[in-house]
């Protein structure tokens, strides 16, 4: 699969294992609380912009455009660290979140718990 | 896109927004430390098995088969909670991790930090 054109450091680009759409998953975690806030997607250029501007920038699959988190909402994500996983298909982005991460106004996008059977509190 | 055959509760299945491959991303977090351990993938049946057995079960995209974490390594993940995100394309799986999460032997798969420009420690 072709590597997308971008200004991303080639040494970093070489680590990435992209989907057919040229994307890697970005898990976003809040530095101060450790909460997992959301999952978004980056292509090489979104990662380049995130690493060089310190503002979390994603690729919107629905709108097919770059998306600086908070650009319209004001709910920016100030990037404190980015790590790539062992097989290069996921990033862990550590941020300070301004306001709510979720477009619903919730602190995190993961607010709907599913029932798990067999959970033992003391196991 | 067809909903895959599985025994997953239809009310839960209706919440999911799957990739073209029928998958949702699963972010795995360690309950005791809050550490993000790994990113894996689930189809409906993997989620069903995870919710009903309490053992994290994924779909391996490389092997094209179900994969009970720890089945060969012994490094099981005991599921303490599963949440779905606001738009149904990601899950947050909270686990107690037995041994290392990463196949490299590392505690977490996200052990390679990338350089971020413009990070201000006191910003």
Q: What's the pLDDT at B57?
A: 98
Are the CB atoms for B99 and B73 separated by under 8 Å?
yes
Contact at CB, B36 and A36, closer than 8 angstroms: yes
Q: Is A119 on the interface with B (CB under 8 A)?
A: yes
Q: How far apart are CA A60 and CA A46, in angstroms?
A: 10
Q: How far apart are CA B44 and CA B59, in angstroms?
A: 10
Mind giving me the DSSP string for chain B?
-PPPP--S-HHHHTT----TTS-EEEEEEETTT--EEEEEEE-HHHHHHHHHHSB-EEEETTTTEEEETTTTTS--EEEEEEEE-TTSSEEEEEEEEPS-SSTTS-SSS--EEEP-TT--TT-
Q: What's the pLDDT at A5?
A: 80
In which residue are the tokens 């080639």 written?
A10
Assigned token pair, A78: 């100030």
Q: Is B1 on the interface with A (CB under 8 A)?
A: no
> Which of B85, B104, B115 lies at the smallest CB-CB distance from A110?
B85
3-62 in chain B: CB under 8 A from chain A: 12, 15, 19, 25, 27, 29, 34, 36, 38-39, 50-54
Residue ranges, chain A, pLDDT below 70: 1-4, 119-123
Taken in order B59, B83, A38, B120, is the CA torsion positive or negative?
negative
Residue A39, number of CB atoms within 10 A of its CB: 24
Domain B10-97 has CATH 3.10.20.810: yes
Tens-level pLDDT at each residue, chain B (123 residues): 455 689 999 999 999 999 989 999 999 999 999 999 999 999 999 999 999 999 999 999 999 999 999 999 999 999 999 999 999 999 999 999 999 999 999 999 999 999 999 765 544
Q: What's the pLDDT at A57?
A: 98
What is the residue extent of each domain of chain B?
Answer: 10-97
pLDDT, averaged across chain A: 93
**H or E segment and range at residue A57:** strand A57-60
* Structure confidence by residue, pLDDT tens digits, A79-109: 999 999 999 999 999 999 999 999 999 999 9
């Amino acid at each position: 699969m072709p590597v997308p054109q971008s200004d991303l450091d080639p040494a970093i680009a070489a680590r990435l294992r992209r989907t057919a759409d040229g994307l890697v998953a970005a898990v976003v975690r809040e530095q101060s609380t450790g909460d997992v806030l959301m999952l978004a997607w980056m292509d090489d250029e979104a990662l380049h912009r995130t690493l060089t501007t310190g503002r979390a920038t994603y690729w919107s699959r629905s709108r097919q455009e770059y998306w600086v988190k908070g650009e319209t909402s004001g709910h920016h994500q100030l990037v404190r660290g980015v790590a790539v996983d062992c097989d290069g298909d996921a990033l862990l982005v550590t941020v300070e979140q301004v306001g709510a991460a979720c477009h619903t106004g919730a602190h995190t996008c993961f607010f709907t718990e599913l029932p798990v059977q067999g959970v033992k509190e003391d196991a």
